Structure 1
Amino acid sequence: MIALILAAGYATRLYPLTKDTPKPLLPVQGSRTILDLLIGRLEVLEDITEILIVTNDRFFHAFGQWHQQYQGEKPIRILNDGTSSPEGRLGAIGDIQYVLERERLQDDLLVLAGDNVLGFGLEGYLNYFHKIDRDCILVRNVDNIEELRSVGVAELDAEMRVLSLEEKPQEPRSSIGVFALYIYKRTTLPLISRYLAEGGNPDAPSYFPEWLHSRQEMRAYYTEGTIDDVGTPEAYAEMRARLGAGEDEASC
């Protein structure tokens, strides 16, 4: 299995913090960055044979410098999608397709957003994927209506099959939030180009599984752990204070 970290965004809501520094490389726990914590989650997964990080031309050098300091055991490669401005970005699904075409991947694929801090390990998620042998989305219960309106929202049956999935709904059909951790079987990957060719939205990563679930069976995996996306300078300051104080050791 290959892990693909999506890190080609420009995080304009965090300016000026992210004007010259990509969001995944912001320090959140001492000198440890969001990316460091995420890589730590991947390092312990035996299934992962390589980690790919796709970024843009503006931040390619910054990720290269980070890579030079990397001391883990997993092979990591940094890929440049060639974009240089928010207006020209490929979008999350566009970046996945860029990587698929460039690397000609023939492996199962774990896709992760590069700007999330996870309060749980991924071992259970991967074990579930191997057990049910289906494409998987990761979900958790969300009580806040405004948060639900900012993520994907799913409806599931008793067997955790996805019955519906809607990205950023104004009227959520459930309290089941879908977050940016997806596992796709290698046989599913060619469908991403079909989705884009049919005019699918290339931006948010949940748009593809929203399209996919009505064409083939997809399962969901529940987590009760936290998933923090640093979306504003205030949220970033709060996270640094919390992680620095050791209040969220599960995220370390």
Structure 2
Amino acid sequence: MIALILAAGYATRLYPLTLDTPKPLLPVQGNKTILDLLAARLEVLEEISEILIVTNDRFFHAFEQWQQQYQGLKPVRVLNDGTSSPEGRLGAIGDIQFVLEREQPQEDLLVLAGDNVLGFGLAGYLDYFHKVNTDCILVRTVDDPAELRSIGVAELDSQNRVLSLEEKPQAPRSNIGVFALYIYKRSTLPLFSRYLAEGGNPDAPSYFPEWLHSRQELRAYYTEGTIEDVGTPEAYAEMRARLGEQAE
């Protein structure tokens, strides 16, 4: 299985923090960055054969510097999608397709957002994927209506098969939030190009499973752990203070 970290965004809401530093490389726990914490989650997963990081031209060299200093055992490669501004970005699904076309992976694919801080390990998620042997999304219960309107929201049957999935719904149908952690079977990867060819939105990563679930089985894995995406300078300062205390 290959891990693909999506890190080609520009995080304009965090300006001026992210004018010269990509969001995944912001320190959140002492000197440890968001990307450091994500990579540590991947290092302990035996079946991950390689970590790919897709970024943009503006921040490519910053990620290359991070890679050169990386002390982990997994091979890591940084890919440049060639974009240089928020207006020209490919979008999350566009970046996945960019990687698929360039790399032609022959393994299953774990897709992660490069700006999320995870409060749980991923071994249980991978075990579930192998148990059900189908594409998977990761969900957790979200009781804040405002948060539900800002993420993907799913409806599931008793076997956790996805019945509906809607990105950023104005009227959420459930309290099952979908987060940017996906596992796709190798056989599913060619469908990304079909999705885009049919005019699918290339932006938010949940748009693809929203399209996929009506075409083939898609299962959901529940986590009770935290998933934090720092959206404002104030939230970043709060997270850094809290995680710094935990590290002491």
The normalised TM-score by structure 2 is 0.99
Secondary structure of 1:187's match? helix
1:55: which partner in 2?
Answer: 55
In structure 2, C-alpha distance between the alignment counterparts of 1:104 and 1:176, rounded to whole Å: 33
Opposite residue 131 of structure 2, the aligned amino acid is: K
* 1:118 maps onto 2:114 in alignment: no
- Deviations 1:1-29 (CA, angstroms, capped at 9, x unpaired): 00000000000000000000000000000
In structure 1, C-alpha distance between the alignment counterparts of 2:34 and 2:206, rounded to whole Å: 21
2:44: which partner in 1?
Answer: 44
Q: CA deviation at 1:36?
A: 0.1
In structure 2, C-alpha distance between the alignment counterparts of 1:86 and 1:107, rounded to whole Å: 31
Q: CA deviation at 1:181?
A: 0.0
1:230: which partner in 2?
Answer: 230
1:93: which partner in 2?
Answer: 93
Q: CA deviation at 1:47?
A: 1.0
* 1:154 maps onto 2:144 in alignment: no
Q: CA deviation at 1:236?
A: 0.1
- Deviations 1:113-159 (CA, angstroms, capped at 9, x unpaired): 00000000000000000010000000000000000001000000000
Opposite residue 47 of structure 2, the aligned amino acid is: D
In structure 2, C-alpha distance between the alignment counterparts of 1:210 and 1:18, rounded to whole Å: 30
Secondary structure of 1:220's match? strand
2:25: which partner in 1?
Answer: 25
- Deviations 1:13-64 (CA, angstroms, capped at 9, x unpaired): 0000000000000000000000000000000001100000000000000001
Q: CA deviation at 1:106?
A: 1.4
Secondary structure of 2:186's match? coil
Opposite residue 142 of structure 2, the aligned amino acid is: V
Secondary structure of 2:19's match? coil
In structure 2, C-alpha distance between the alignment counterparts of 1:215 and 1:179, rounded to whole Å: 21
Q: CA deviation at 1:218?
A: 0.4
Secondary structure of 1:177's match? strand
Opposite residue 205 of structure 1, the aligned amino acid is: P
* Percent of matched pairs sharing the same residue: 85
In structure 2, C-alpha distance between the alignment counterparts of 1:102 and 1:144, rounded to whole Å: 39
1:10: which partner in 2?
Answer: 10
The number of residue pairs the alignment matches comes to 248
Runs of 4+ more than 4 Å apart: none
Gaps of 5+ in 2: none
In structure 2, C-alpha distance between the alignment counterparts of 1:188 and 1:106, rounded to whole Å: 11
Give RMSD over aligned pairs.
0.9
In structure 1, C-alpha distance between the alignment counterparts of 2:113 and 2:216, rounded to whole Å: 24
Gaps of 5+ in 1: none
2:195: which partner in 1?
Answer: 195
Secondary structure of 2:187's match? coil
Opposite residue 92 of structure 1, the aligned amino acid is: A
Secondary structure of 2:158's match? coil
- Deviations 1:154-211 (CA, angstroms, capped at 9, x unpaired): 0000000000000000000000000000000000000000000000000000000000
In structure 2, C-alpha distance between the alignment counterparts of 1:105 and 1:33, rounded to whole Å: 28
2:72: which partner in 1?
Answer: 72
Secondary structure of 1:192's match? helix
Secondary structure of 2:160's match? coil
Opposite residue 173 of structure 1, the aligned amino acid is: R
In structure 2, C-alpha distance between the alignment counterparts of 1:236 and 1:47, rounded to whole Å: 32
In structure 2, C-alpha distance between the alignment counterparts of 1:242 and 1:183, rounded to whole Å: 30
